[in-house]
Amino acid sequence: MSQTLLLPRWLLTMKPGEGVLDDHAVLIDGERIAAVGPRAELLAQYPGAARVELPGQVLIPGLINAHAHSAMTLLRGVADDVPLMDWLQNHIWPLEKRWVSEEWVYLGSRLAAAEGLRSGTTYINDMYFFPTAMARAALDSGVRAAVSMNVIDFPTGYASGPDDYIAKGIAAYEQYKGETLLDWTSAPHAPYTVSDETFVKLRDLAEKLDIQMHCHIHETAVEVEDGLKAHGVRPIERLDRLGLFSERMIAVHMVHLNDAEIELMARKGVHLVHNPNSNLKLASGVMPLKALEAAGVNTILGTDGAASNNRLDMFGEIRSAALLAKGITGDPTVATARTALEMATIRAAKAMGRGDDLGSLEVGKLADCVSVSLDSPECQPVYNPAAQLVYVAGREHVSNVWVGGRQVLRERQPTTIDVPALMAEVSDLVGRMKAS
């Protein structure tokens, strides 16, 4: 196998207890990291390795977007400045019913992959219809993805009802389960769209296939109030009674929580996805990050979909998570730069069940690497490269990306995606959507 030495100015491995390393290098052998050490030592030990010089750049693990609806890039900007349920019921769901298809999802997911790679995202935990389309898009783009077996209790253009959704999800899983870039999730949409019976089926499916679950929970105050009226208990208590909460569960949004619910999440090992920018834009609220951190809950980050965010920009989420927590609590020590970066890397890998393989740059792990340039005027001077990534740099400073040792972004240009051709396809489809 070919060997490649990545030679950055700074290395931030995200290994627990390890800070920024000066003049260190990473050796990639095939798809994995074979060595990490001082630049001079690795250059002497591996004289035959190809060298990639990264002057003025910091090398970090690939970012993990823990919650996205990739195909909804095609709905970016169709309905802004409206509340969540209005946004869903009067804008998004009607458009999806009219347009969503296998090829529509494939196109939108490739657009999301291109945006993600240019933002340093190497892994997308997706939730949408037509999972075969997302699987194809991820494989063709060279990005990792957790593909969802997405279920909602009412019919759509994808499936007629919960059993049909589940059957189609299982068929997609069986078709692609050997692909190393892909993981799978059992994905009930939300407590207000999924029945108890369906939740139990999806819980059992996750256990049978040994995969994670992925669900929107407690996103708005109205959701909690309506759940209490319909079921006599808040949605979290309802789902707990159904046996949904364990280390398999990736619970998204989790904005409206009381102390008992926070304690339950910690005790059950549930992973909570903070979507700061989407929740702000929809005025849904803000996840109580300080209380969750104090309780020891594994909190991670996601963008949500481009129809609500409207950016698939993990650097934006990292910065917003750090700043929001400080502003809401009045405590500048909450959500440090290190914490915010962990939420997008090593903590997220744990949530996806991939902690042994992803989330940090360590020997034996998969070589998912991102280099970020800090040599531009707006990023200078550099006193603390880790803090610079959170409070100064943005996705526009991402230079190069490797997934499993394969370079998928070179000097900000995807190597796996014909961007002009992709843009032409998107323009054609959106033109037809607007005309109708």
Cα atoms in the Cβ-side hemisphere of radius 13 Å centred on 92: 22
pTM: 0.97
Q: Which segments of 282-418 does DSSP mark as H helices, in order?
A: 289-295, 314-329, 337-343, 346-351, 385-391
Whole-number pLDDT of residue 432: 94
Residue of 150, 139, 83, 147 lying closest to 110 (CA atoms): 139
- What is the rounded distance in angstroms from the CA atom of residue 289 to the CA atom of residue 298? 10
Residue of 394, 406, 419, 317 lying closest to 64 (CA atoms): 317
The mean pLDDT values, 10 residues at a time, for the chain of 436 residues are 93 97 98 98 97 98 98 94 87 90 98 98 98 98 98 93 98 97 98 98 98 98 96 98 98 98 98 97 95 98 96 98 97 97 98 98 98 97 98 98 98 98 97 92
Structure tokens at 145: 């993805």
Partners of 413 in beta bridges:
410
Q: Which residues of 172-190 are buried (b: 16+ CB within 10 A; e: fewer)?
A: bbeebeeeebbbbbbbbbb
Angle, vertex CA 252, rays to CA 346 and CA 339, nearest 5: 30
Residue of 229, 283, 232 lying closest to 255 (CA atoms): 283
8 Å CB contact between 76 and 390? no
> Helices 131-141 and 102-117: crossing angle, nearest 10°?
40
Q: How far is CA 25 from the centre of its chain?
A: 27
Other Cβ atoms within 10 Å of 1 Cβ, number: 9
Question: Which domains, and CATH codes, for the chain?
Answer: 3-61+359-414 (2.30.40.10), 63-351 (3.20.20.140)
Whole-number pLDDT of residue 85: 85
Angle, vertex CA 322, rays to CA 317 and CA 325, nearest 5: 115
8 Å CB contact between 319 and 390? yes
